Amino acid sequence: MGNVANLVLYIIVGLVGGFIGMKLKIPAGSMVGAMLAIIIVKIVLKSEWTLPKNVIFLLQVAIGIMVGTTFKPSLLPVFQKIAIPVVASTVILIATGILIAVVFSKLGVLDLTTGYLGTSPGAMTVLVALSFEHNVNAMVVTSFHLFRVIFVVLSVPFISKFVVH
């Protein structure tokens, strides 16, 4: 298939998967459903096709817009109250990611940059995009984050029901 046909196929598959995930009330169902549907179709079709760079750019801009629109100036006082925990948790998470990446690198499992991008917390889309920009193993980085996102999303109901309350 050509780029346009692949793009149309994956948009349709993603929309269907996202709709099914939402209807099944899976946490973050539209995102998880779209991801899983496309992964399943790619496995069935044995497809190695990836999005063209211009489409990746547009999607990253769209995600940036989506995240940016969630900001409200009224959040500034809230951030002032939580600044120390936010900075502390960020430093701890980054340090942990570096430590794990160093261990994987010393064991010869992953190179340092792939290990760091794969184990770093954060938005999967940004970290996968960084893996392309830094010419590291994007498939490995994607695998780390795909598993993490699915695990976190599916564990939220359990955590909120049994641990938080």
Question: Are 41 and 9 contacting, i.e. CB atoms less than 8 angstroms apart?
Answer: yes
On the question of pLDDT at 64 being above 80, the answer is yes
Task: Find the mean pLDDT for residues 66-93.
Answer: 91
Question: 């209807």: which residue's tokens?
Answer: 23
The residue-averaged pLDDT of 29-50 equals: 88
Q: What is the pLDDT of residues 82-100, one digit of tens each?
A: 999 999 999 998 999 999 9
pLDDT tens, 14-30? 999 999 999 998 877 88
Q: What is the pLDDT of residues 98-155, one digit of tens each?
A: 999 999 999 999 999 999 999 888 777 778 878 878 888 888 888 888 888 888 877 8
Instruction: Give the separation between CA 18 and CA 24, rounded to whole angstroms.
Output: 10
Q: How distant is the alpha carbon of residue 94 from its chain centre?
A: 16
Q: Of 143, 154, 129, which Cα lies nearest the Cα of 63?
A: 129
Q: Would you state the structure tokens that stand for residue 109, as one six-digit string?
A: 């499992």
Residue 165 confidence (pLDDT): 58
Residue 161, pLDDT score = 79
pLDDT, residue 122, reads: 74
8 A C-beta contact, residue 126 and residue 138: no
The residue type at 142: T
List the helix and strand counts (H, then E) for the chain: 7, 0
Query: pTM of the full predicted structure?
Result: 0.67
| Predicted confidence (pLDDT) at residue 1 exceeds the cutoff of 70 | no
